[in-house]
Amino acid sequence: MATVSEITADCRDKMRKAVVHLQEEFSGVRTGRATPALVEKLRVDYYGSEVPLQQLAGFSVPEPRVLVIQPYDKSAIGAIEKAIQQSDLGINPGNDGHVVRLAFPTLTEERRKELVKVVKHRAEEGRVAVRNVRRHARHELEALEKGGEISRDELDRVEKDLEKATHEVVAEIDAMLAHKEQELLEV
């Protein structure tokens, strides 16, 4: 059976991972600017296997609304274009035989509001994930108390500690959401 310190360390670690995952999700939500984070995790069918685009190409942003994808292997251009077209980016790629160019149009007010809803939903999923991690840790701690391995006082102290950690992580998620919302609504 795990110890109190192992349970709390595991809980904090999982909460941290939930925040990192949410940051990655947010970076994939498009603002008015071109950024490699929008496409680097895209799965490309490369010779029969699904490979993240970042392993197949280099990226550059010559202008704020243009992303240039330079494949290491020129024969992958078609597969890269296909993956971009099938993604939810809503952008048609163009290529000159050497690089793939993505021109990002300015976002309409309606699209910005849709993206804010998407971001809010993802933030709520992050909060729920953090609370689920706390609930799981709490069950493990209660099992330790029932087994007589820790006292009721220690259980209460550790639960307060976990509650504090949960509030800190949820506050961090809320701050990330506010920042992303501001970024999306900025014209």
Convert the pLDDT of each residue in 14-69 to its tens digit: 999 999 999 988 887 777 677 888 788 888 998 888 999 889 999 998 988 888 99
Per the CB < 8 A criterion, the answer to whether 51 and 43 are in contact is yes
162 vs 149: CA distance, rounded Å: 19
H helices within the chain, ranges in order? 4-27, 77-86, 109-146, 152-185
pTM of the model: 0.70
69 and 134 in a single domain? The answer is: no
157 and 179 in a single domain? The answer is: yes
From 63, 88, 103, the end of a domain falls on 103
Tell me which residue range forms the domain holding 69. 36-103
Which amino acid type is present at position 139?
H
48 and 86 in a single domain? The answer is: yes
CA angle 176, 21, 88 (to 5 degrees): 90
78 and 133 in a single domain? The answer is: no
Q: Is the dihedral of CA 67, 73, 75, 79 positive or negative?
A: negative
Is residue 156's pLDDT more than 90? yes
3-class SS at 29? Answer: coil
Look-up: residue for tokens 């729920």? 128
112 and 22 in a single domain? The answer is: yes
Number of separate domains in the chain: 2
- DSSP at 8: H
- Residue closest to 171 by CA, chosen among 28, 24, 19, 29: 19
69 and 99 in a single domain? The answer is: yes
Q: Which helix (H) or strand (E) holds 151?
A: none
pLDDT of residue 103: 86
Q: At 92, which CATH number?
A: 3.30.1360.40
Is residue 10's pLDDT more than 70? yes
From 81, 103, 125, the end of a domain falls on 103
From 103, 125, 145, the end of a domain falls on 103
12 and 57 in a single domain? The answer is: no
b or e along 1-14 (b: 16 or more beta carbons within 10 Å of the residue's beta carbon)? Answer: eeebeebbeebbeb
Structure tokens at 72: 């290491």
